[in-house]
Amino acid sequence: MPSTTPQPAFVLIRPQMGENIGAAARAMWNFGLDRMRITAPRDGWPNSRAVAMASGAGRLLDEAMIYDTTADALSDCHYTYATTARPRELTKPVLTPEEAMQDAAARIARGEKVAVMFGPERAGLENDDVAQANAIISVPVNPQFASLNLGQCVLLTAYEWQRQHGSTLRDAFAQPDLAETIEVQKLAEHYEDTLGQAGFFFPDHKAESMKLNLRNLWSRMPLTSHDVRMLHGMMRQMVRWRDRD
């Protein structure tokens, strides 16, 4: 079953190569999207080449919704974006992927159903397709070579969608819980006592200044509880090594 996470549907209009459908599925799943719709795939459906290219994202293909026409694929949507690199004579708002996904996030938060259309590999969306969209997404690429592969275009748009929900990435690289102040204080006392016994704070008239600098050092470091335990252990081991003879 598709996830219940609110998100746009990505609609592949008349895709030609199964490999590109699979690449699109993989790109979507990289960024937590799983609402794929496919309109009139050239080589029929299901497609073994799409499954092979999708790798671990095969579930998206199993659950993809297949339609005969663009109108059918968009029938339940409130707002649709059409991706295109070519200038059109149709008057519509033109947005970058970032702007479009910001707008999509706001619309979905209001309860709207949103779709993004991606055209076939050879020539992209036809004007009849674009006419059914409310806005255009245009990627700022090299005007001398503006054509994007289907999978690339899906990847760029999915990435911008994920940027609106970046907590997943931040959580994946989250800092472990920082040590409490009392833990850092106890660490500072341990080092001051042991270094004092070793004669580190010398000469006497500089001892307080040296201790102050050491406490300041600890407070500047974003230590975790694990860091504190390791530093205690390092000091205890050095003392044991010194006294073992």
Residues 118 and 194 both lie in one domain: no
Residue 160 confidence (pLDDT): 95
Residue 148 confidence (pLDDT): 81
- Summarize pLDDT for 49-77 with one digit per residue, the tens: 999 999 888 899 999 999 999 999 999 99
Cα of 208 vs its chain's centroid, Å: 49
Domain assignment of residue 212, given as a range = 181-243
CATH number of the domain to which 127 belongs: 3.40.1280.10
Residues 207 and 119 both lie in one domain: no
- Using a cut of 0.85, tell me whether the model's pTM lies above it: no
Residues 204 and 144 both lie in one domain: no
Residues 78 and 126 both lie in one domain: yes
1 domain residue, yes or no: no
Residues 38 and 79 both lie in one domain: yes
Q: Does the structure show a pLDDT above 60 at 207? A: yes
66 domain residue, yes or no: yes
Q: What is the mean pLDDT of residues 74-94?
A: 87
27 domain residue, yes or no: yes
215 domain residue, yes or no: yes
Residues 139 and 202 both lie in one domain: no
Q: What is the mean pLDDT of residues 98-105?
A: 94
Residues 140 and 93 both lie in one domain: yes
Residues 229 and 192 both lie in one domain: yes
Residues 62 and 108 both lie in one domain: yes
Residues 41 and 155 both lie in one domain: yes
2 domain residue, yes or no: no
4 domain residue, yes or no: no
The 3-class secondary structure across the chain, one letter per residue, is: CCCCCCCCEEEEECCCCHHHHHHHHHHHHHCCCCCEEEECCCCCCCCHHHHHHHHHHHHHHHCCEEECCHHHHHCCCCEEEEECCCCCCCCCCEECHHHHHHHHHHHHHCCCCEEEEECCCCCCCCHHHHCCCCEEECCCCCCCCCCCCHHHHHHHHHHHHHHCCCHHHHHHCCCCCECCHHHHHHHHHHHHHHHHHCCCCCCHHHHHHHHHHHHHHHHHCCCEHHHHHHHHHHHHHHHHHHHCC
193 domain residue, yes or no: yes
Q: How confident is the model at residue 219 (pLDDT cuts 50, 70, 90)?
A: confident
Phi, psi for 37 (deg, rounded to 5): -125, 140
Count structural domains, the chain: 2
